[in-house]
Amino acid sequence: MIQESYNKISTWYNAYVSEFSSEDSEIQINIDLIKEHASRVLENVQELGASINLDESNSLLLKTCAFLHDIGRFEQLVKNGSYADNDESNHIQIGLDVIEEHEILDVLNENEKQLIIDCVKLHDISVLPKIEDEQSLALIHLLRDADRIDVLRVVSEYYTHKKIYPNRHLDMELIDKPGFSKKISKAILDEKIAKCDDVENVNDLKLSQMSWIFDLNHKRSFKMISEKGYIKAIFETLPKNDDVIDMYRNMKIFMENRL
């Protein structure tokens, strides 16, 4: 990918997202949140890419993926008033449809197009399928790490200050009640990422987000999360019983062993 192509796509992106606003202050707060998230993921991919000496062409592809990965969130939020993905409204599919409709990748060759589409399509799924192409897999891993690092920033700050600034969208419309799923507990103790289908309440959501560390791919990713204290911050908002403490201890040891 060349700089000129990147500039054209980024210019289109900035014009596209500028069209989204809402008179509903709650919705507007979340529109702004998505915009900031994309900017932060862009910063993260640059830091992660630099840590492995990613070449310029792949760096430009990765930066493009960073600001396009959640482009479907804007339409999803404005039309449906929710971040929650379901059969009728899935931000990844909406994003792919937006990319196709506006033909924004037509300045790229077919290989570059497919790399970006694959990154957008696979950035948020729990378990990746087998990917033979090494370039594609490398970019997907970098984007997934960068995305999760910033989501952990967003939610750790939110959970910490939730009583002052509640945001039902970040709670994914879930009930905030005591307890947690035993399936999620087992996954974490087995050092596996928790399944979205096992999330039943806000505690489950917090634990599932913390479990993303088991699917990180780069040493720098662990360092960024550890330095910012995101996992600890979320843990501090959970009930302090033996099971939760055991899960946190397991995650903490896992991270320390990868720094």
Q: What residues does each domain of the chain span?
A: 3-148, 175-256
84 confidence band (pLDDT: 50, 70, 90): confident
**Looking at residue 193, what is its pLDDT?**
95
Q: Which long-range contacts (CB under 8 A, 24 or more apart) does 188-194 make?
A: 188/214, 188/247, 188/250, 188/251, 189/246, 189/247, 189/250, 191/250, 191/254, 193/126, 193/127
88 pLDDT more than 90: no
pLDDT > 80? residue 233: yes
Sign of CA dihedral 222, 255, 196, 241: negative
| Confidence at residue 142, expressed as pLDDT on a 0 to 100 scale | 97
Res 167: pLDDT:
87
**pLDDT at residue 71 in the model:** 96
Overall average pLDDT of the 203-217 stretch: 96
Give me the pLDDT at residue 81, please. Answer: 82
pTM for the full predicted model: 0.93
The CA distances from residue 122 to 8, 57, 181, 200, in Å, are: 24, 21, 26, 24
Q: Which is more confidently placed, 165 or 201? A: 201
- Average the pLDDT over 210-232 and give the result: 96
Closest Cα partner for 75 from 33, 19, 154?
19
Residues in CB range of 39: below 8 A, 6 or more apart: 67
Banded pLDDT at 234 (limits 50, 70, 90): very high
Residue with more model confidence, 78 or 206: 206
Architecture of domain 3-148: Orthogonal Bundle (1.10)
Q: At what angle do helices 56-68 and 110-122 cross, to 10 degrees?
A: 50
Confidence band for 176, pLDDT divided at 50, 70 and 90: confident
Mean pLDDT computed over every residue of the chain: 94
Band (55; pLDDT cuts 50, 70, 90): very high
**Cα–Cα distance for residue pair 74/80, rounded to 1 Å:** 10
22-31, 45-54, 139-148, 153-162: which has the minimum mean pLDDT? 22-31
Question: What pLDDT score does 87 carry?
Answer: 79
Averaged pLDDT for residues 10-14: 96
Q: What is the pLDDT of residue 163?
A: 86
